[in-house]
């Protein structure tokens, strides 16, 4: 009958949780801004990528106390009351507190609603049609390369993507064989290329530079090599570049096409371009 007194208290565990939370948040505030410089996060080169950084920051900030709560209380129990030997008594049953459970439920609901509303605000940015002077680019995925064309400039077709800094760009994306996914991490955009459908995504690049483009949907044999780079340049440079491009043949219509031999990209060429791009 006699309860042996047990070490440990809820206040001590709470104090450890508070310390862990503070340390975690301080680390986030100190290290967070360095992550892009250390290449843990991709470069931020568009409005959309900036949004994503903010979302990641806020989610991490809120995760710290939640993660610490679960781990500290579970870990505290294990280390304080754990034993390799079989205990010769039972633990004292704990009444299900009529206050604590509702508090837990309400806090988790509030957190979820907060994250949801916060997410909605950014989702609105994602869904918004680009305003003002927009650069249109058609993107076509095929095994295993990306083709681009510029409908605003006589449908100039190219295997190289150039964008104008601070000018919104809207991509219209499709595929001629299987599903691909058009991903530019530095611009914070990703959109599947679906055969027979056209999908859209937009962003405004805000940094001049060269950034990788990758395929993010397993698309067969050389999926890993289906990558290229985007050059974000000034308006003048862009104008010069586009004038030197040949207008492309009219876009291939489905009826006109037939089974074509599969293009196997030259592996040596890919790795060379990868090295040259410094990615």
- According to the binding rule CB under 8 A, does residue 27 interact with another protein? no
Q: How far is the CB of 169 from another protein (least distance, A)?
A: 16
Positions in 40-59 near another protein (CB under 8 A)? 40-42, 48-49, 51-52, 55-56, 59
Please say whether the beta carbons of 163 and 145 come within 8 A.
no
- According to the binding rule CB under 8 A, does residue 104 interact with another protein? yes
Burial class (CB in 10 A: 0-12, 13-18, 19+), 180: buried
**Residue window 60-79: x/- pattern of binding to another protein, with contact defined by CB under 8 A:** ---x--xx--xx-xx--xx-
Please say whether the beta carbons of 253 and 164 come within 8 A.
no
Window of 22-30, 106-114, 161-169, 235-243 that interacts with another protein by CB under 8 A:
106-114
Pick 159 or 244: Cβ nearer another protein: 159
Triad 118, 208, 218: Cα angle to 5°: 65
Pick 39 or 131: Cβ nearer another protein: 39
Q: How far is the CB of 265 from another protein (least distance, A)?
A: 11
- Determine the Cα–Cα distance for residues 136 and 173; give it in Å rounded to an integer: 11
- According to the binding rule CB under 8 A, does residue 82 interact with another protein? yes
Triad 177, 190, 46: Cα angle to 5°: 140
Pick 29 or 123: Cβ nearer another protein: 123
Q: How far is the CB of 69 from another protein (least distance, A)?
A: 9
Size of the site for another protein (CB under 8 A): 104
Positions in 133-172 near another protein (CB under 8 A)? 142-143
Which DSSP helix (H) or strand (E) runs through 122? Answer: helix 100-127
Positions in 197-256 near another protein (CB under 8 A)? 197, 199-200, 212, 214-225, 227, 252, 254-256
Q: Which of 17, 148, 156, 192 binds another protein (CB under 8 A)?
A: 192
Q: Which two tokens stand for residue 216?
A: 């993010």
Q: How far is the CB of 248 from another protein (least distance, A)?
A: 16
- Determine the Cα–Cα distance for residues 200 and 24; give it in Å rounded to an integer: 38
Residue closest to 83 by CA, chosen among 2, 13, 12, 7: 7
Which residues, listed in sequence order, are joined to residue 149 by a DSSP beta bridge?
138, 157
Pick 20 or 238: Cβ nearer another protein: 20
Burial 197-220 (b: 16+ CB within 10 A, else e): eebebbbbbbeeeebbbbbebebe
Window of 24-32, 93-101, 162-170, 230-238 that interacts with another protein by CB under 8 A:
93-101
């Amino acid at each position: 009958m006699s309860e042996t007194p047990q070490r440990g208290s809820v206040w001590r565990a709470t104090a450890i949780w508070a310390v862990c939370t503070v340390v975690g948040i301080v680390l986030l505030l100190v290290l967070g801004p360095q992550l892009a410089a250390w290449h843990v996060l991709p470069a931020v080169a568009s409005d959309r990528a900036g949004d994503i950084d903010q979302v990641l920051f806020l989610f991490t900030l809120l995760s710290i106390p939640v993660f610490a709560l679960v781990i500290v209380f579970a870990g505290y129990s294990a280390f304080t009351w754990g034993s390799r030997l079989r205990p010769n008594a039972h633990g004292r049953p704990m009444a299900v507190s009529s206050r604590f459970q509702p508090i837990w439920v309400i806090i988790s609901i509030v957190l979820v609603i907060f994250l949801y509303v916060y997410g909605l605000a950014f989702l609105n940015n994602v869904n918004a049609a680009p305003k003002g002077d927009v650069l249109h680019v058609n993107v076509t995925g095929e095994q295993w390369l990306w083709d681009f064309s510029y409908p605003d400039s006589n449908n100039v077709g190219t295997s190289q993507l150039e964008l104008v800094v601070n000018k919104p760009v809207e991509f219209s994306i499709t595929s001629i064989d299987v599903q691909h996914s058009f991903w530019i991490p530095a611009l914070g955009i990703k959109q599947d290329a679906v055969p027979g459908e056209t999908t859209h995504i937009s962003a405004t690049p805000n940094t001049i530079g060269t950034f990788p483009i990758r395929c993010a949907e397993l698309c067969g044999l050389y999926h890993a090599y289906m990558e290229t780079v985007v050059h974000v340049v000034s308006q003048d440079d862009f104008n010069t570049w586009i004038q030197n491009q040949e207008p492309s043949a009219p876009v291939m219509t489905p009826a006109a096409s037939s089974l074509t031999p599969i293009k196997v990209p030259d592996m040596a060429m890919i790795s060379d371009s990868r090295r040259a791009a410094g990615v």
